[in-house]
Chain A
């Protein structure tokens, strides 16, 4: 089946277009671009020499601009595609600053530990060549306590993450006097990840950071880097609450790049069933790797990573290649395993990698020629980031999106222009979200007493401080609020909504010496590692013997299974308490519970169902707040079938989910929507919009307060969307013959407007 002769990338693309049975919906060529460079400007000769030794003899214009701005004391946000040399944008000002003044300090914030390690290595390589005594350290949960003392006083560059800044550094700022007195630069990389609730938390953490800096008499310059989003400058200014100069024109060269959308062939025209996108993706990846084309494959789930890995390895073995040139990469692999894979990719011992969005962030894996997307990742920005993983400064690269059978993917296959014309998503934050603000006021008061009338950043704190004083958390004396509680507030405030609890997976194939295989986050455990599940790790099947929920351990054994398991989740939304209501709207406390019910055994290769079993595990529960909108018989036309009602409610919910973040100033992922044709509590149609954070952070409450705006915006969004029968930007994609869902949603919203007018 596979041709023996190896292909160049051009030939591979031609093969996809001509020889594969599916259709290429679009093939665009993005032309190459020349480098636009600029001289270094007035930099320390040691730094210039060190750069030259690393092969950098001039800067790209965006780098030069960023360096110039930062060195002159202005905050800067650089929007950088992959392989545009973003780290020099901050490394040069930082090293230059320390060379000028050896007392100067810099703080790097990366959203993940892995990125810290990466940057540390790169920065170190440059510093070494300058010959100066500039000390760089990573400071995170893994830093041995013996080393911490030295880092606090001697580290010129401290590389850490927001969580560590929040719980480990700021509340202990007196141990970091040297750093805070001399803090010249703060580097915020991967700025686009700081959106929604996480971003709102970070904004408050930065408020606290600046407050402590002011206490020690420093005022750092912020250098931010962001992937492409719609509003990078706006996001940077919202996070920093200071003017930020935006550098968006990219001076880095780019080779010719091809973008294709490939739709697998129909195998049953009547039912509209297509060949599995997963198998097609594996096939293209195998062909590319057999031709030694460096390839990255993105897919949406961890199971799919393992399946693709297995199929690609089988394919490579079948055509006489080595299966070891491809590796999997996803959440749950051990850090050491990941480092090995990253290194293998950089030095070329590994040619291909199959990944979830874990590799979207800037982990350095060198440059690849081909990015294969198994399915649309769900957002324009994410899609371009994944496609951007393939890209070289010269020479050809390509990205192929293989459309799955999901309606959204099929929409893209039918209207591929959407991919090129739609703007990337907005990133929004709300640092003054009351819940988040109160928590950070507590943390800030712990760090240093508030003076009456003192704000936290731009947020007024008077009412909050008085409230906390009444509660006995603060004590007011001589015009200052002192922390008066035995607790350590930062420990009770997590910057991230997702739990950090993990199950450790132990391989007990040889019971006398169990081996730690990997980990699974708690919410995913019921799906992936329920008892009897067949769990794949690095392409090897394991059977789950025991899931120890108290000890957070999962015992597995190597098996020779030719199937994998896939569990069905039952999600339940239950109303617990009504806080307020008006007309058909309300908000209150809800319980979101999910439980795996049955699992299917699915044969590898054919994906046929070869059996099933029941899962006996408790519910994963989340208490949070939700807003609801009810639809009585008076608004739902009696002529609508149940099918249509269900689609219309789901479509309306999808529309609300897209428009609500605008008012709630949160990210899409911070809320979830649920629609019930017949809600068990209200006994009629209902749509819920729920805070996707345990306990809730006020999103449902705000949505309720702004319900009028919400509906108006939804109507406008619907009217302004040029699609005919629905698209990802408005109500979502509906297949089936339940009628024109978009028209029906419009009709429904019209009646709502009348009812609540």
Chain B
């Protein structure tokens, strides 16, 4: 064995200058060098003895938050949260209503919020979940249940219990769960040689929704960012960054001491609370257009993406009543009309959007296009194109050089072409 270890170490760290990097690469370095006090040979055999006990007899796991063992290796932690207490600035009231308001995206009257903590992001069959947070409304409280897997050996039982918990409502609510959590669970069920009905349940993915609503407003759609910007919720220092989670679980498995996971339990609970608050906020936005005029625009965008153009237009018209949002609202209405091929209506909205002020190159260009290709009046098309070019020339200082240059070239070409076509005059056929 020691000969094998020597040989392996030699292979996996051949180049002197690479040795240092590889030291940090867990798994390849010398066992004593970087595992700190736990890494000495004595400590290894000691922790193995201890660990053997921990896994063989789950009650030997130390340091878990208060809770109870449901089955061998499966542990439940429960916490209750008052509906009156806001998460960030958003109260958790009305979770059923907001769920219904979002039914078009998979929401429901009895939402079950869930989020998984996993052993990595690599995907594939080697990544598993060890902690699932499941939140739902119960009488007058919001209850978060956290199902903990004490060792991968008990995963089949853990999956079974999780499936039960998740099926207690009308729909699932997650953050990126459609792309990440649900496929991961499917993989785990398949490895346990089982199928699961979870994939059939309605599933509201708040990441997808958030992307649609705050596109352009937020730089990142990581949950912690959205919390900060939208819910005004800032996590305390006790929080564990998601990237550290796999390593902490590994440390727990080696030591049997679950106290290192305190921050992970907290992190996961906050995730669930944020999901609930976020749904509540998005539900209000979708049904009432939210609290500020910009939210009306967002609500419109949300409905437009769902194909509900009528609803979308209603919110945009409402947004248009606010002078600060007018030009943007009319742009949205113009684009919607263009999609319906109602060219005169689109033309009108584009023109209306010009009165809102701001840098209005886009409406001018669109107007020029509509007149050239749809309504076929080259003179009018030329007027708007020339106006756009004039506007652009005045904007040189405000735009990045290459972008400005490219737009100028394009507009020049457009103006030249329109001049030619206008000179030929008459309603002409498209080339």
Contact = CB atoms under 8 A, between A and B. Distances in A.
Contacts, number: 121
A interface majority secondary structure: mixed
Interface stretch (A4-12, A51-59, A63-71, A694-702): A694-702
B7 interface: yes
Nearest to A621: B15
A485 B190 contact: no
B233 to A, nearest CB: 27
B152 A488 contact: no
Contacts of B247: 486
Contacts of B55: 477-478
Given A486-B120, A486-B247, A467 B151 contact: no
A172 B127 CA distance: 11
A589 B14 contact: yes
A471 interface: yes
A134 interface: no
Interface string A685-721: 0000000000111100100000000000000000000
What class of interface size applies to chain B in its complex with A? Answer: 35 or more
Interface residues of A, number: 48
A486 B28 contact: no
B153 A172 contact: no
A472 B248 CA distance: 12
Contacts of A480: 152-153
A114 interface: no
Residue from A464, A485, A697 whose CB has the most chain B CB atoms within 10 Å: A485
Contacts of A625: 14
A484 interface: yes
Contacts of A468: 27
B170 interface: no
A448 B5 CA distance: 24
Contacts of A438: 8, 11
Contacts of A463: 1, 4
Interface stretch (A173-181, A247-255, A304-312, A660-668): A173-181
Interface string B350-372: 00000000000000000000000
A74 B72 CA distance: 45
B26 A471 contact: yes
B125 A171 contact: yes
B191 interface: yes
A189 interface: no
B250 A467 contact: no
Contacts of A488: 120, 122-124, 126
B153 A489 contact: no
Nearest to B191: A174
Given A463-B1, A467-B4, A471-B26, A486 B125 contact: no
A264 B277 CA distance: 85
B120 A485 contact: yes
B153 A477 contact: yes
A698 B11 contact: yes
Interface in A459-502: 463-464, 466-468, 470-473, 475, 477-478, 480, 482-490
A487 B122 contact: yes
Contacts of B151: 475, 477-478
Contacts of B253: 475, 477, 484
Nearest to A470: B31
B16 interface: yes
A174 B31 contact: no
A29 interface: no
B90 to A, nearest CB: 33
B257 interface: no
B198 to A, nearest CB: 14
Contact of B1 (A466, A482, A695, A701): A466
B187 interface: yes
A579 interface: yes
A571 to B, nearest CB: 19
Contacts of A701: 7, 10
A697 to B, nearest CB: 8
A471 B14 contact: no
A446 interface: yes
B246 interface: yes
B124 A475 contact: no
A523 interface: no
A485 B187 contact: no
Contacts of B1: 463, 466-467
B201 interface: no
Contacts of B26: 471-473, 485
Contacts of B7: 434, 698, 701
Interface of A: 171-175, 177, 434-435, 438, 445-449, 463-464, 466-468, 470-473, 475, 477-478, 480, 482-490, 576-577, 579, 589, 623-625, 695-698, 701
Given A434-B8, A478-B55, A701-B7, 14 more contacts: A174-B190, A435-B11, A467-B4, A468-B27, A471-B27, A475-B250, A478-B56, A482-B153, A485-B27, A485-B250, A576-B16, A577-B16, A695-B14, A698-B7
5 contacts: A172-B125, A435-B11, A449-B152, A478-B56, A623-B14
**Sorted from nearest, which 8 A-B pairs have the closest CB atoms?**
A446-B126, A486-B120, A174-B190, A478-B153, A488-B122, A483-B126, A171-B124, A477-B153
